[in-house]
A and B are shown apart, each in its own frame.
Chain A
Amino acid sequence: MATTSSTGAPAAAPSLTFTRPVFAKLSPHPYLLLSLSPDESSSTRSRRTNGRAPHEARPIQINTGSLSQAHGSALVRTGDTTVICGVRGELLPVTSIPQFRPTPSYENADDEEKARKELKEYDLLVPNIELATGCAPQFLPGVPPTTLAQTLSTRVYSLLHSSGLVDGRDLRVKYRPVRPPQDTEAMEEDGQEEEEEEEEVKAFWVLYIDLLFVSFDGNPFDAAWAAVLAALRDTVLPAAKWDADREMVICTTKEKGKKLNIRGHPVPCSAAVFLEKADQQHQDKGRHWILLDPDRLEETLCGEVITVVVDCEGNETRVRSLEKQGGTVLGRELIRGFVGVAEGRWKEVVKAMG
């Protein structure tokens, strides 16, 4: 390999040699290319600059419940990417919802479907990603969220809703009105007891899902989503009741809190496509490598990226989201094959989640 270390260079030869980090900084593309395509003669396999094989992801480590101020929390580490997620519930009384309709027009839909629409319509899930924590040299605080941070927040938001991860029924705070005694007789005569006792929704829990990157080394979405998933599974909302006299929701620590019912285990798997020729203008594309779980250096060198979110809980693998953009290498066959890679990653992540 041409990446000889400067210390090993003979003093007689005036050839210019660089250390690996200098080479990586000066010309990253040839550096990665060289590493991926070893000499024909040598027996070394194709390796990335971080020592991984092209289809090798970094091991994932997930800790939950380490924060006590949040209602649910998770810390996810994959290689040098570290992200913390905190979930906190706050209450939204229905009186503060501008267009609240106690019986929405889609009443024919079943309750679960209705709850799902409530989530979206009243915006009960609020994910935000903070990258400006100095987690990498390009993310310094004092500036508004970058396009990357905004895109990530949107992707997490979209996936939260499209995957139906959170059961909207868990977020309702209901109240069964107590009939005043004088009305009781009158109502009993009319035989309308059941209608009187119908529960009404008085408030909703709003879940603020905040993600903080402590360290950033590529593939932020996979780490962020794993943190969201683990934190939501860890979330316990305090037991809440509507106090009719005070007209507000009162929580209690005497009763056990409510654990959120999280449906499914959608796990994302991302990869980037590295092309032999940085110049993409020609028809002849040359060789390419699909790099699973790319790091920061690889992300800057790859244009085409793919993220597949799969859930292998049932008999059949369900794809919950697929995003591919920025290139034309990944066609139908490669994407189909990539779903298989994502299944493998799913097992690893779910195992780490415990």
Chain B
Amino acid sequence: MADRRRINGPAGATIPPVFDEDGKQYEHKVAKIRDRAPTAIRKMFLKTGVTPSASGSAYLEYESSAKSGVSGLKLSCTVHGPRSLPRSSPFSPHIVLSTHVKYAPFATKQRRGYLRDPSERDLGTHLETALRGAIIADRWPKSGVDIIISIIEGDQDRETSKFQGDETWDMMNALSGCITVASAALADAGIDCVDTVAGGVAALVQDTSDDSTPRIVLDPIPSEHEKILGACCVAYLPIRDEVTNLWFKGDLPASDIDLYTKLVESGIQASRNGNRVLVECLGETVA
């Protein structure tokens, strides 16, 4: 049934535009080569205090890739709380995190609806796990904090067609961004954490342009690579050397344990890089 609380538009279904070049996308793909070093992550812009009425807030933007049509991830995060839990909720000896990740309707190639879909809920759950390890939760018994992230623009190529299955890899980049921006917003809200947690992504990619041996890259953009074999997103606390959340996905030979370790290590490396930006930004705010 149509949502009565929103303006729904025409009764008939609308179709997103279909481009005639879709069939030729594979040929174009080779042209999109990653111009960063495999160990370099994209430049980031991070700013806190974008929503003054919230307890804490932050905005994160990734540098958009050189190729036009590929957008950089843009995220806005607000933190509300800590505040007392509603009367109806049961007693909690520590702070209750509630995370909410939502793509803006105009954030991705396909228009997103206003109701959260499973992938957005998934992101929220991962984010909660990543942050729970960083917050000193028992300082606020019987309290709750809301962490709300709006993904203003996703990390996608407008022209890439859908069947390449980019979206699962995009989710990893989105999660990594969510972790970093939420960490900045939590610090802005003055919620005590053991350390600043940042996200990082590493992927095992295979390009036809080089000698087709798979290699590990940090902060991958799916559209820049021919094939992604596997990827992992790490939430990492640098001072304590702890991983709070690890998300591994892909199709790798089970025999090569080394590969897994290497991928996670690269993820940690990406996270360390992200963390530097985070700490620098927070330092500026304090100064």
Complex A–B touching at CB under 8 A: yes
The answer to whether A73 and B9 have CB atoms under 8 Å apart is no
Q: Smallest Cβ distance from B32 to chain A, in angstroms?
A: 15
Closest to A85 in B: B106
Query: Does any Cβ of B come within 8 Å of A82's Cβ?
Result: yes
Q: A140-B146, A215-B53, A250-B19 are in contact. Are A69 and B71 (CB under 8 A)?
A: yes
Q: Report yes or no: B80 in contact with A92, Cβ–Cβ below 8 A.
A: no
Does any Cβ of B come within 8 Å of A76's Cβ?
Answer: no
Contact status A206-B10, CB under 8 Å: yes
A206-B14 CB under 8 A given contacts A88-B106, A137-B53: yes
Return B182 CB to nearest CB of chain A, in Å: 12
Q: Kindly state the separation between the CA atoms of A82 and B152 in the bound complex, as whole angstroms.
A: 13
Does A136 count as interface, using CB distance less than 8 angstroms? Answer: yes
Task: Check B15 against A208 for contact (C-beta < 8 Å).
Answer: no
Residue from A67, A97, A98 in contact with B153 in the complex, judged by beta carbons closer than 8 Å: A67
Contact across chains for B50 and A69 when beta carbons are under 8 A apart: no
- The verdict on A133 contacting chain B, using a C-beta distance below 8 Å, is yes
Contact A128 B114 (CB under 8 A): yes
- A121-144 contacts to B, CB under 8 A, are 122-124, 126-128, 130, 133-137, 140-142, 144
Residue of A nearest to B115 (CB): A144
Q: Is A250 a contact partner of B50 (Cβ separation < 8 A)?
A: no
Convert A131-169 into 0s and 1s, putting 1 for each residue whose CB lies closer than 8 angstroms to a CB of B.
Answer: 001111100111011000110011001000000000000
Summarize B's interface: helix, strand, loop or mixed: loop
Closest-CB distance, B12 to chain A (whole angstroms):
3
Interface size on B, residues (CB 8 A): 53
Would you call B142 an interface residue if the criterion is a C-beta within 8 Å of the partner chain's C-beta atoms? no
Hey, what's the 0/1 contact readout for A60-89 against B, CB within 8 Å counting as 1?
Answer: 000000011110010000001010101111
Q: Which residues of B contact A134 (CB under 8 A)?
A: 51, 54, 78-80, 100, 146, 148
Check B51 against A135 for contact (C-beta < 8 Å): yes
Residues of B close to A141: CB separation below 8 A: 100, 102, 148
The reply on A186 being an interface residue by CB < 8 A is no
Given contacts A88-B111, A134-B78, contact A68 B20 (CB under 8 A): no
In the complex, what residues of B have CB within 8 A of residue A93's CB? Answer: 12, 15
Residues of A within 8 A of B (CB): 67-70, 73, 80, 82, 84, 86-93, 96-98, 122-124, 126-128, 130, 133-137, 140-142, 144-145, 149-150, 153-154, 157, 206, 208, 210, 212, 214-217, 238, 240, 248-254, 296
Beyond contacts A73-B106, A90-B15: 6 other A-B pairs, Cβ-Cβ < 8 A, are A82-B50, A90-B16, A126-B9, A134-B146, A150-B6, A238-B19
Could you pull out 5 A-B pairs where Cβ atoms are within 8 angstroms? A98-B11, A128-B6, A134-B51, A140-B148, A153-B6
Chain B interfacial positions (CB closer than 8 Å to A): 5-21, 50-54, 57, 59, 64, 68-71, 74, 76, 78-80, 100, 102, 104-109, 111, 114, 146, 148, 150, 152-154, 156, 158-159
| A-B pairs with lowest CB-CB distance, top 8 | A86-B106, A96-B12, A134-B148, A134-B78, A126-B9, A90-B14, A210-B105, A70-B106
